[in-house]
């Protein structure tokens, strides 16, 4: 075994239990929409970049996006000569009970870890997606310049399974002087700013009003591609088909049943149903934390 082989074996994250859904995510692969691939990447980019900063990683380093908690993973941190080493991890996003070797681990803070330590996550008390960054960043092979898992296109690493081993990179930046970056937990009711259009004129005036006055509910038929909303069916004032057109992250597309779908990070590049409004870019990380059953209200962006 060469020194380099030992090095790649020596620094890994072993997935013992992925929980309901754990994927590798970075900030995605912009620039491929014209070939039918959307950006993908972390659903809550604010939380991923914070986790990376807390362990001295570049903001776009790959970490784990853990949906509904439930993950258990072992850290392998060895020097090239095989002797045990130490490192850091950080957990951000949906707050969940977390332990390292049975001892409580702080959230939104760098957590020192040693070779062989086991991280265990419980269920989040609010929000949906917890982010794990490990000092050095996860380094599975990139696809189209990114390590993000895109559940729509199948690009990037597959969703994680028990027994998967993810290599860690070498630290490139010094540890920050920050020991805690407290954030408010995700709410139970989400307020998102929405720009009307581009196809708001496909809907009856009362339905446009309904859209902004309703407390919508996120259904369980939701994922990284989109959140299906439950509420009053919106009525179109036009019949006929819309030729497929480009879709953006945050678009609220309304299929014939009148119930909007809020497109998240793995959204299709084009779609054939009218988009009544688009969530403000700054509110998209928050939208990535909406769990099934949560209430959602939309306010008009300006």
Partner 1 sequence: MTTPLRGVRRAGSAALLAELADLADVLALRAALERERPEGVRELVAAARTLLVTYDPAVTGQDRLSRTVAERAAALPEQGGPATQETDYDTLVVPVRYDGPDLADVAELTGRTVREVIDRHTAPLYTVAFAGFMPGFGYLVGTDPVLHLPRRSEPRTAVPAGSVAVAGGFTGVYPRSSPGGWQLLGSTDVPLWDEDRTPPALLVPGRTVRFEETT
Residue 179 beta carbon to partner 1: minimum distance, rounded to whole angstroms: 30
CA distance 69 to 60: 22
| Options 13-21, 56-64, 94-102, 191-199: segment touching partner 1 (CB under 8 A) | 191-199
| Options 5-13, 35-43, 117-125, 177-185: segment touching partner 1 (CB under 8 A) | 35-43
CA distance 160 to 7: 22
Residue 221 beta carbon to partner 1: minimum distance, rounded to whole angstroms: 16
Residue 42 beta carbon to partner 1: minimum distance, rounded to whole angstroms: 17
Residue number, 118 or 144, with CB nearest to partner 1: 144
Residue number, 82 or 145, with CB nearest to partner 1: 145
Q: What phi, psi does 24 have (nearest 5°)? A: -80, 130
Place of tokens 């953006």: 248
Place of tokens 């259904």: 219
By CB under 8 A, tell whether 255 contacts partner 1.
no
Residue number, 142 or 171, with CB nearest to partner 1: 142
| Options 90-98, 104-112, 174-182, 197-205: segment touching partner 1 (CB under 8 A) | 197-205
Out of 106, 114, 282, 293, name the contact with partner 1 by CB under 8 A. Answer: 282
By CB under 8 A, tell whether 36 contacts partner 1.
yes
3-state secondary structure at position 287: helix
> Do 105 and 92 form a contact (C-beta atoms < 8 A)?
no
For residue 205 the two structure tokens come to 């005036």
By CB under 8 A, tell whether 35 contacts partner 1.
yes
Tally of CB atoms within 10 A around 213: 10
Place of tokens 């408010």: 184
> Do 141 and 167 form a contact (C-beta atoms < 8 A)?
no
Strand pairing class (295-300; 189-196): parallel
Out of 82, 116, 197, 293, name the contact with partner 1 by CB under 8 A. Answer: 197
By CB under 8 A, tell whether 248 contacts partner 1.
yes
CA dihedral sign of residues 49, 54, 56, 61: negative
Residues that bind partner 1 in the complex, under the rule CB under 8 A: 30-37, 143-144, 153-155, 195-199, 243-248, 250-251, 268-270, 275, 278-282, 301
């Amino acid at each position: 075994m060469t020194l380099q082989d030992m090095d790649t074996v020596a620094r890994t994250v072993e997935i013992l239990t992925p929980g309901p859904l754990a994927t590798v995510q970075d900030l995605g692969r912009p620039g491929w929409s014209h070939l039918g691939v959307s950006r993908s990447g972390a659903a809550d980019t604010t939380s991923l970049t914070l986790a990376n900063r807390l362990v001295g990683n570049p903001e776009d380093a790959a970490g784990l996006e853990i949906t509904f908690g439930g993950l258990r993973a072992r850290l392998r941190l060895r020097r090239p000569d095989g002797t045990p080493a130490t490192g850091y991890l950080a957990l951000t996003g949906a707050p969940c009970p977390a332990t390292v070797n049975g001892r409580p681990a702080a959230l939104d803070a760098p957590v020192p870890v040693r070779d062989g330590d086991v991280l265990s996550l419980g269920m989040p008390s609010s929000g949906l997606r917890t982010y794990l960054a490990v000092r050095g960043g996860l380094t599975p092979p990139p696809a189209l310049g990114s390590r993000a898992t895109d559940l729509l296109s199948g690009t990037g690493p597959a969703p994680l399974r028990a027994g998967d081993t993810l290599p860690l990179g070498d630290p490139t930046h010094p540890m920050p002087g920050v020991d805690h970056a407290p954030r408010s937990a995700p709410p139970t009711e989400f307020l998102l700013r929405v720009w009307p259009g581009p196809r708001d004129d496909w809907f009856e005036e009362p339905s446009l009003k309904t859209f902004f006055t309703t407390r919508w509910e996120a259904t369980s038929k939701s994922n990284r591609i989109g959140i299906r909303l439950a509420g009053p069916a919106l009525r179109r004032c036009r019949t006929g088909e819309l030729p497929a057109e480009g879709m953006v992250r945050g678009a609220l597309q309304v299929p014939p049943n009148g119930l909007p779908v809020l497109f998240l990070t793995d959204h299709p590049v084009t779609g054939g149903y009218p988009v009544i409004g688009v969530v403000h870019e700054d509110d998209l990380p928050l939208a990535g934390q909406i769990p099934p059953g949560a209430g959602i209200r939309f306010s008009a962006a300006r």
